[in-house]
Chains A and B, each alone.
Chain A
Amino acid sequence: MSRKKVEVRTAQKASKPSNRATNGYVHVAKPATASQIMRDLGISQARMKHLLQALNLAGAQS
């Protein structure tokens, strides 16, 4: 029984994509969402809207 378990675990491990980048230092993380990015930087949704509106007014947004 224990051998079966080990085989299952090995198979699961093998099917996972490698999370090690080429130089061996960096791991791939699950991407953050837009709201997580803004929240982490302390920018509220209202503030983001305001920033984008200001860019629109300045004609910077396509």
Chain B
Amino acid sequence: MGGASQGGLAQRRVFLNVPYDAGYEQNFLALIAALISIGRIPRCAVEEPVLGRNRMARIFKLIRSCQVSIHDLCRVTLPPRFNIPFELGIAFTLWKLQGHKFIVLESKRYRMDVNLSDLKGVDPLVHANSPRKVVSCVLSELGSTGGAPDIEQVMEIFKHLRRVASKLKRSHKGSKVFYRPIFNALIAAATEQAVARGLINP
């Protein structure tokens, strides 16, 4: 692949920096459905092996290869989880140095003002742990001003992914959706649905 087309793809890649726990699975599926519907490419640390010395370096490379990143701070509670704010710090640095864009999500209004007061001035988008609201946030921030898909169409894809995810988890003996083979199959299913609904080209 040539440099120009890689650059073009970088504009469409979105790095997902979100909690990898069972309670977040529905929101993760909503993010995939919304991003694929608008022709964005979800990328995340799930693609990287957990083991290995250079995991952080590989994640850094992945964030840098994406034009946009989404950071959900909804799990900045007890017990503290530092990965997400840490990677948000990387995105902030890339924004300062090379024009990377980042979006901050939160489940509770005003909590970020306390937990991450240094980032005052950046308004998080509040989703209240609702997949529909997550979809709405993505469409409002990344959807085209003229041709963003209807939220109901995206919710249909989300519902389809929910069915697919439960089958996949059974096939993979109870794995969470944050598992590379499941993630890839979810992307394939979402892409097929988006094409079938005329939201993206084949």
Q: How far is the CB of A18 from chain B (nearest CB, A)?
A: 6
Cβ B40 vs Cβ A29 within 8 A: yes
What bracket does the count of chain B residues touching chain A fall in? 35 or more
Picked from A19, A23, A60, the residue with its CB within 8 Å of the CB of B168 is A60
Chain B residues with CB under 8 Å of A60's CB are: 163-164, 166-168, 189
Assembly CA distance A49 to B43 (angstroms): 21
Chain B interface helix/strand/loop/mixed: helix
Chain A residues with CB under 8 Å of B201's CB are: 31, 33-34
Assembly CA distance A17 to B143 (angstroms): 12
- Cβ-based interface call for B13 (8 A): yes
* Residue ID in chain A nearest B191 by CB atoms: A34
Interface residues of B in 1-30 (CB under 8 A from A): 1, 8-9, 11-13
Chain A interface helix/strand/loop/mixed: loop
Cβ B187 vs Cβ A59 within 8 A: no
Cβ A62 vs Cβ B142 within 8 A: no
Q: A29-B67, A60-B189 are in contact. List 7 more A-B contacts (CB 8 A).
A: A27-B11, A30-B12, A31-B40, A34-B194, A58-B167, A58-B171, A60-B168
Residues of A within 8 A of B (CB): 17-19, 21-23, 25-41, 43, 47-48, 51-52, 54-55, 58-62
